Every structure is written in structure tokens, then in C-alpha cells.
Amino acid sequence: MMEQQVSSILIRYQADPGSIIAILQDVQEEFSYLPPPALKMISKELALPLSRVLSLATFYKAFSLTPKGKHPVHVCLGTACHVRGAQLVLEKFERDLGLKTGETSADRNFSLDAVRCVGCCGLAPVVMVGEDVHGKVSPAKIAGLINKYKK
């Protein structure tokens, strides 16, 4: 099953080693992380050393080697967000979700990560849940935000 999905991604890019980043992005999108067997398959099919594939997979923050939740929560800790209380927002998410930063819930519904500047500093502090951007987030708003995605 996974093999077929990775295979169709590789076919889409004609197994071009120059498309490695796009291939990794598509695999990440498909599985919400980069499963180790997929990385081995990519390495083999593109004739790239596994160490090269792994170094790209670990270099870019957008990639994850561990499964992420259906609703990945990214709390921005960039400077603008930090000075507006992002650390308190992150700590409240940790308490409310019962997760530490970097973890995924047992039901795979949520994962929690801290990121650096997501490019909307005017809305600081900013939280992204999947593709949704939430600005001016305060600890008081977090329970409601989580409930919205539980439904």
C-alpha cells in the first residue's frame, strides 16, 4: 500500500534525483511524515545514498521523521511572537493537549511543534493548525481552538 503510493509519487517526478525535495514534500503530505521504508525506497529508486536522503529529511523543518497528528499545531516562537507571549501560548497547548512539544497524541489527532517565524508577524502571536493561520492567540483562546478541531 505505502509502496504503491511512494511509487506513484516517484513516477510523477520520473524518478529524477533533481526533484528530491518535491518528492519528499509529496511523501510528507501523503503520510504526514516521512516513513523510513519510504526513504529507503526513494534512495534506491533515485540512486542516491540513504545518508543524502536522510540529511535532506532532517535538514528541513517542514519534514518529520515521526508521525504527525491529523491536526498539526505549530506555535510560532519567532521574535515578534515571542515578545507577545508565544511561550505562554505553547505551554498552554502542552497542558491542554497533554503533549510535550514535538509529540503526537496517541489517537494521532494532534501533534504539537514550535516553529520560527511563519511570515505573519503582524498577527503575533501566531499559531498554525494544519494550513489554518490563527493570529493574536492568547492562552485564554486555546481551549476553544482545540475544541474546534476536535469536531
* Footprint on this chain of ligand FES (rule: CB under 6 A): 76, 78-81, 117-121, 124, 126
Query: Alpha carbon of 50 to those of 41, 46, 62, 68, 147: distances in Å?
Result: 9, 10, 19, 22, 41
Nearer to ligand FES by Cβ, of 48 and 118: the residue is: 118
Length of the chain: 151
Nearer to ligand FES by Cβ, of 95 and 116: the residue is: 116
Nearer to ligand FES by Cβ, of 34 and 124: the residue is: 124
DSSP 95-134: HHHT--TT-B-TTSSEEEEEES--S-GGG-S-EEETTEEE
Q: How far is the CB of 47 from ligand FES (least distance, A)?
A: 39
Q: How far is the CB of 68 from ligand FES (least distance, A)?
A: 20
CA 11 – CA 123 distance, rounded (Å): 40
| β-pairing verdict for 110-115 and 71-76 | parallel
Q: How far is the CB of 85 from ligand FES (least distance, A)?
A: 11
Nearer to ligand FES by Cβ, of 81 and 112: the residue is: 81
Q: How far is the CB of 120 from ligand FES (least distance, A)?
A: 5
The three grid cell numbers given for residue 101, joined into one nine-digit string:
512539544
